[in-house]
Chains A and B, each alone.
Chain A
């Protein structure tokens, strides 16, 4: 069964309609928690949505030059961590064994790479190339003794909480 339509069916790309705006607050510095914000931000940009990402607290490691490629993953406190075979969870007593964190980090990085998903720095390169803007939190910078020189060159600026209110005006905001 097929039905022929006289006029071509053209997807509605909604180019001129979307004024949707998303702001992501990235507050975590663990490898596993760095990705959700980046994946969603990247997807939003691919849909023509305006994206700003605000890095605060531990999330600062994602934009700090000397730290951004050294994010770790730890199974400690994560009861949903499974072994790669069977359906076996890593018991918490085993999560603290020396060597477990580097091993878990290595495995996660490999899984991410196998899917063709870039490491943090390259992912942020892609996001800024797609028009996303990166912002750093003033309080986090002060607490950690960091300045703009320590951050990625494409960070738009170090802004305070009031500035953030302006940035997020009219936006949907996701805290991660």
Chain B
């Protein structure tokens, strides 16, 4: 498993760069991950990232856009506006979680 250095911290990532250790993530690292993919974080972005982090602890897997809408209360349209084009993957990346495994 490769490691990489983010904001001076060494963290474990997969081959694509998604963080693999839940507990290595901090909001500071999340902000750095967001910067790397050109996302400017606002409170609305953070609210989603926090939901994804909490939901992962409950469900043991990363929420899909469908679940973020159904359980997190943020409409899919807004998710696309906040994290353009590939919201599920971008949210997971910033949240330090694996890509969602579900189809929908």
Contact = CB atoms under 8 A, between A and B. Distances in A.
Given A9-B17, A130-B80, A131-B80, A42 B85 contact: no
Contacts of A3: 2-3
Grouping DSSP codes into helix (H, G, I), strand (E, B) and loop, the A interface class, with mixed when no group exceeds half, is loop
Contacts, number: 90
Contacts of B73: none
A126 B66 contact: yes
B75 A46 contact: no
Contacts of B38: 15
Contact of A116 (B16, B17, B66): B66
Grouping DSSP codes into helix (H, G, I), strand (E, B) and loop, the B interface class, with mixed when no group exceeds half, is mixed
Given A10-B17, A48-B86, A118-B104, A2 B1 contact: yes
B66 A118 contact: yes
A47 B2 contact: no
A6 B5 CA distance: 7
B85 A11 contact: no
Interface of B: 1-6, 10, 12-13, 15-18, 36-38, 64-67, 69-70, 75-77, 80, 84-90, 93, 102-104
17 contacts: A3-B2, A3-B3, A4-B3, A4-B4, A4-B10, A8-B36, A9-B16, A11-B16, A11-B89, A15-B84, A43-B103, A46-B89, A48-B84, A115-B102, A116-B67, A117-B66, A126-B69
Closest 3 CB pairs of A and B: A48-B85, A9-B17, A129-B77
Given A2-B2, A8-B5, 12 more contacts: A2-B3, A4-B5, A4-B10, A5-B2, A5-B4, A8-B36, A11-B89, A13-B90, A46-B88, A118-B66, A126-B66, A129-B76
